[in-house]
């Protein structure tokens, strides 16, 4: 005979086998987790919401978050396009695409108008997730664009024909606030800022926000900060918790409740050329990016 269990506080306990890292009410941000509704189902697709994954500091998890948020969004039935907008091509490589061997990349679409964007988009090994690849050629675009009329809107013009086909376009920015990043901000509806839980992480964020505000005033009045994502969090160290407290103090509700822990599984996925949601679908990292996807869908 089963005993009656009231809903309410008991339902906060993790389901058996759920193995979550944070069964307690207070999340890794040190705040209670806010309620996130179940994402609504979609019938058709588009027009896409464009998010720029942006932080001029390198190694903070921009590329990792682009791949894994994208893959998690597809699990909720969304069609996703990932745009590699860093000449290093790490996003392409992280999806197993040998970007340095490609004849045509986003560079050719932006600079040579004869190349059609739909010929450059490639499918990834994740269903419903496509990629606009790039490689080192893109670094030349930054120089060549300087002399162009409307140089800040080159990416926005390039992406426009694709927007009806996707629900989300995620742009993986390079670690700088140069012309390529400004193009990404001009093309975006929102900015997602990955922030490493390390001592100097807040340095430079004021400059980034300043740049976002300038782009909003001068080029793209619709641009919003979608959220700040704490990455590389180590729940065992006081240091990580202190940095987290400062981030929450500085940015409040903009900080996602979903937090990405530091784990060697992410570097492993890069070698595997697959997102963590398929490489280690039951891992804490995969769950964290799914939780982030739900928050993004709700914002
Ligand atoms: N949560 C994490 N824990 C541990 N390593 C991570 C995590 N996220 C990313 N990494 C690793 O850190 C390095 C930098 O991450 P990356 O996403 O490329 O940052 P960015 O694009 O901001 O330069 C990569 O080797 C990546 O595999
Ligand atoms: Mg990167």
The CA 170 to ligand 2 mean position distance, Å, reads 13
The Å distance, Cα 259 to ligand 2 centre, comes to 18
Q: Assess if residue 143 is contained within a domain.
A: yes
Do the domain assignments include residue 20?
A: no
Q: How many CA atoms lie within 13 A of 233 on its CB side?
A: 25
Q: What is the pLDDT of residue 24?
A: 54
Residue of minimum CA distance from atom 9 in ligand 1? 61
Give pLDDT tens digits for 257-294.
Answer: 999 999 999 999 988 899 999 999 999 999 999 999 99
Task: Collect all residues with Cβ–Cβ distance below 8 Å to 93 and sequence separation of at least 6.
Answer: 99, 270, 273
Parallel/antiparallel/unpaired status of strands 129-132 and 122-123:
antiparallel
At 113 the pLDDT is 78
pLDDT above 70: residue 161: yes
Is residue 232 lining ligand 1, measured as CB closer than 6 Å? Answer: yes
Q: Check: CB of residue 84 under 8 Å from CB of residue 77.
A: no
User: Would residue 1 count as lying in a domain?
Assistant: no
User: Alpha-carbon distance 63 to 83, whole Å?
Assistant: 10
* Ligand 1 neighbourhood includes 240 CB (under 6 angstroms): no
| pLDDT tens track for 181-225 | 999 999 999 999 999 999 888 888 999 999 999 999 999 999 999
Both tokens assigned to 226: 């979608």
Tokens 């742009």 -> residue: 171
- Quote the crossing angle between the two packed helices 265-272 and 62-75, to the nearest 10°: 80
CATH number of the domain within which 294 lies: 3.40.50.300
| Angle between helices 284-298 and 62-75 in degrees, nearest 10 | 80
Q: 4 lies in a domain?
A: no
Distance from residue 235's CA to the centre of ligand 2 (Å) = 24
| Nearest ligand to the CA atom of 88 | 2
Q: Is 58 in the pocket of ligand 1 (CB under 6 A)?
A: yes
Q: Which residue's alpha carbon is at the smallest distance from atom 20 of ligand 1?
A: 59
* Residue 148 belongs to some domain of the structure: yes
Any domain includes 37:
no
For residue 58, the ligand 1 atom closest to its alpha carbon is 23
What pLDDT does residue 114 have?
Answer: 80
Give a yes or no: residue 261 inside a domain: yes
**249 CA → ligand 2 middle, Å:** 27
**Atom 12 of ligand 1, residue of closest alpha carbon:** 59
Provide the edge-to-edge strand list for the sheet that holds 49-53: 122-123, 129-132, 80-85, 168-173, 49-53, 190-196, 224-231
In a domain, 249, yes or no: yes
Nearest-angstrom CA–CA distance, 31 and 150: 43
Pocket test for ligand 1, best of 21, 58, 59 (most atoms within 8 A of CB): 59
Q: How much distance in Å is there from the Cα of 211 to the middle of ligand 2? A: 19
Q: How many domains does the chain have?
A: 1
Structural domain including 98 reads: 43-298
Q: Which pLDDT band, with edges at 50, 70 and 90, does 13 fall under?
A: very low
């Amino acid at each position: 005979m089963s005993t009656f269990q009231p809903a309410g506080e008991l339902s906060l306990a993790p389901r058996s086998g759920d193995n979550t890292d944070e069964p307690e009410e207070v999340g890794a941000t040190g705040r209670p987790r806010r309620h996130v509704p179940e994402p609504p189902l979609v019938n058709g697709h588009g027009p896409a919401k464009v998010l720029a994954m942006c932080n001029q500091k390198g190694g903070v998890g921009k590329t990792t978050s682009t791949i894994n948020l994208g893959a998690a969004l597809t699990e909720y039935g969304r069609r996703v396009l990932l745009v590699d907008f860093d000449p290093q091509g790490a996003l392409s490589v992280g999806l197993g695409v040998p970007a340095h061997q490609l004849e045509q990349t986003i560079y050719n679409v932006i600079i040579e108008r004869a190349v059609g964007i739909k010929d450059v988009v490639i499918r990834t090994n994740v269903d419903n997730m496509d990629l606009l690849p790039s490689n080192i050629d893109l670094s030349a675009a930054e120089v060549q664009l300087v002399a162009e009329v409307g140089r800040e809107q080159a990416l926005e013009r390039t992406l426009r024909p694709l927007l009806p086909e996707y629900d989300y376009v995620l742009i993986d920015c390079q670690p700088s606030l140069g012309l390529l990043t400004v193009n990404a901000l001009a093309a975006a509806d929102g900015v997602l800022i990955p922030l490493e839980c390390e001592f100097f992480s807040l340095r430079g964020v004021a400059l980034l926000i300043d740049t976002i505000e300038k782009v909003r005033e001068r080029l793209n009045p619709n641009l919003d900060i979608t959220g700040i994502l704490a990455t590389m969090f180590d729940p065992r160290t006081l240091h990580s918790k202190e940095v987290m407290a400062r981030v929450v103090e500085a940015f409040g509700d903009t900080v996602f409740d979903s937090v990405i822990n530091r784990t060697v599984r992410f570097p492993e996925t890069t070698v595997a050329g697959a997102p963590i949601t398929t490489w280690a679908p039951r891992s804490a990292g995969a769950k964290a990016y799914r939780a982030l996807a739900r928050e993004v869908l709700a914002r």
